[in-house]
């Protein structure tokens, strides 16, 4: 199931990568980690006489919005790979087939965002089959998306005799499996960010595995509102409030300490130009939203982290992309770095989390940086990820 066992001479390798990278308002790539991480696999195929067809998603488009076009990563990918990356405006159909057919050994083609087609996330078999017709060999190197049972990450493997993991997948799986099996305790997980509905369900399952859980970023407000707090216009998933309460109850049974922020930096708009203020997290006025954790919360989390022996961090503590709301994430980074210096093993994962630790210079002060956030958390649950199971034929 490794690249070494496949002869790529004259073959077209269809590689699922995770090029879901952060972009700024000008649609420029602001963190290249995930593209660099895919380089070894791509170069391996090219150096062994093959051609490469890359497929990925970018963001969560609903209606083929141009801001989610993979065209935006073409020039960055070309620079990183040192090879011109050709772009195809479709990922299936005649145009894509023709582009794939014309590809010569040593060439790289990137297909348009797979999620422009709802069949991708639906795990549609016909769509997976259509994708499979573009290449001779299937490689899954998209660790960041390995927890999704989508057409290009899982279903597609059925249509290939020759399939394997890429080098990034191999590295991530072996590094994370080692830590997840017998983590030194206390094990502290930090969960922040904005993907509330998809990650809140993970919390329920990791409670048995972790000793402390810090809930920060946009993830906290659903819990605070469920507890009766006033969160103003902060990010909340109303239909997840019951689940939030169930999680808090279950945490008592599993003896997991849940740490929520107590204070926040508030803003009157989701904007760098917003007026900012401070508030207790359960008393945010209407028209205001919490966009970062406050100083007391930073101190509380610091104390928890300094007692940890293993730390798993996914999701920033605030909207770190805007300077006004970056201090909480910086403080968390400082605490994790300090704990690591004191002997804890620390893992940071997720597209935006990695961008944050790199931006603030903590990436070489943590033990391991993973390209996957949700994927890393689901490995902690003890699950076999669909993207991994598909290659193994499980
Ligand atoms: N309080 C908040 N309100 C809204 N968005 C937030 C808040 N805190 C953090 N975020 C946003 O969460 C995003 C990252 O979330 P997520 O995708 O879950 O993380 P990762 O990519 O590391 O897995 C960032 O773009 C950040 O701006
Ligand atoms: O960025 C990703 O996950 P992450 O935010 O958990 O790191 C992956 O590209 C998966 O994206 P998705 O959560 O929209 O399926």
CA of 217 relative to ligand 1 center, distance in Å: 6
Nearest residue CA, atom 18 of ligand 1?
Answer: 193
**Model confidence over 147-203: pLDDT tens digits?**
999 999 999 999 999 999 999 999 999 999 888 888 999 999 999 999 999 999 999
394: confidence class by pLDDT, cuts 50, 70, 90: confident
E-state strands within 281-328: 283-284, 289-293, 310-314
ipTM surpasses cut 0.95: yes
What is the dihedral sign for C-alpha 351, 141, 384, 155?
A: positive
pLDDT digits (tens, 9 = 90+) for 304-338: 999 999 999 999 999 999 999 999 999 999 999 99
Indicate if ligand 1 lies below 6 Å from the C-beta of 318.
yes
- pTM of the full structure: 0.96
Task: Provide the pLDDT for residue 181.
Answer: 84
CB 261 within 8 A of CB 302: no
- Distances 344 to 200, 308, 365, 382 between C-alpha atoms, Å: 26, 6, 11, 22
CA–CA separation, 136 vs 141, rounded Å?
A: 16
352 Cβ closer than 6 Å to some ligand 1 atom: yes
Question: Is residue 387 within 6 Å of ligand 2 at its C-beta?
Answer: no
Q: What does the pLDDT read at residue 99?
A: 98
Q: With H, G, I as helix, E, B as strand and everything else as coil, classify residue 278.
A: strand
Q: What percent of the chain has pLDDT over 70?
A: 100
Residues known to be catalytic = 34, 195, 351, 374
Ligand nearest to the CA of 24: 1
pLDDT above 90: residue 69: yes
Contact (CB, 8 A) for 107 and 130: no
Which segments are annotated as binding site for substrate?
Answer: 18-20, 34, 57-60, 115, 148
Give the domains, in start order, of the chain with CATH numbers: 3-170 (3.40.50.1260), 182-380 (3.40.50.1260)
Q: Which atom of ligand 1 is found nearest the CA of 195? A: 18
């Amino acid at each position: 199931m490794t690249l070494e066992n496949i002869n790529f001479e004259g073959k077209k390798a269809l590689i699922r990568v995770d090029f879901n990278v952060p972009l700024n308002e000008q649609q420029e790539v602001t963190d290249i980690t995930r593209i660099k991480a895919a380089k070894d696999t791509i170069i391996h195929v090219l150096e062994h006489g093959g051609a490469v067809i890359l497929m990925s998603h970018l963001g969560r488009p609903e209606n083929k919005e141009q801001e989610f076009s993979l065209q935006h990563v073409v020039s960055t990918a070309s620079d990183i790979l040192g090879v011109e990356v050709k772009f195809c405006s479709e990922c299936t159909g005649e145009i894509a087939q023709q582009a794939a057919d014309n590809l010569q050994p040593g060439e790289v083609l990137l297909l348009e965002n797979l999620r422009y087609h709802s069949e991708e996330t639906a795990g549609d078999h016909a769509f997976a089959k259509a994708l499979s017709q573009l290449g001779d060999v299937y490689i899954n190197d998209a660790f960041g998306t390995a927890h999704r049972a989508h057409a290009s990450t899982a279903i597609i493997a059925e249509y290939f005799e020759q399939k394997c993991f890429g080098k990034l997948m191999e590295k991530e799986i072996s590094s994370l499996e080692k830590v997840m099996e017998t983590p030194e305790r206390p094990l502290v997980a930090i969960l922040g960010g904005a993907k509330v509905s998809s990650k809140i369900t993970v919390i329920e399952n990791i409670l048995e595995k972790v000793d402390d859980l810090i809930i920060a970023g946009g993830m906290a407000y659903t819990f605070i509102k469920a507890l009766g707090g006033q969160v103003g216009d902060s990010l909340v998933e109303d239909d997840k409030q019951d689940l939030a309460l169930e999680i808090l109850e279950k945490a008592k049974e599993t003896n997991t300490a849940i740490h929520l922020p107590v204070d926040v930096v508030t803003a009157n708009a989701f904007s760098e130009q917003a007026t900012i203020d401070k508030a207790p997290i359960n008393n945010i006025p209407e028209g205001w939203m919490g966009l970062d954790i406050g100083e007391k919360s930073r101190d509380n989390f610091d104390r928890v982290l300094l007692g940890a022996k293993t730390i798993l961090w996914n999701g920033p503590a605030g909207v770190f992309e805007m300077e006004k709301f970056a201090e909480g994430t910086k403080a968390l980074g400082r605490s994790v770095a300090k704990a690591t210096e004191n002997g804890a093993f620390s893992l940071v994962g997720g597209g935006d989390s990695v961008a944050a630790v790199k931006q603030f210079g903590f990436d070489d002060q943590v033990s391991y940086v993973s390209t996957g956030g949700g994927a890393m958390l689901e490995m902690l649950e003890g699950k076999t990820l669909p993207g991994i199971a598909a290659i193994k034929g499980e």
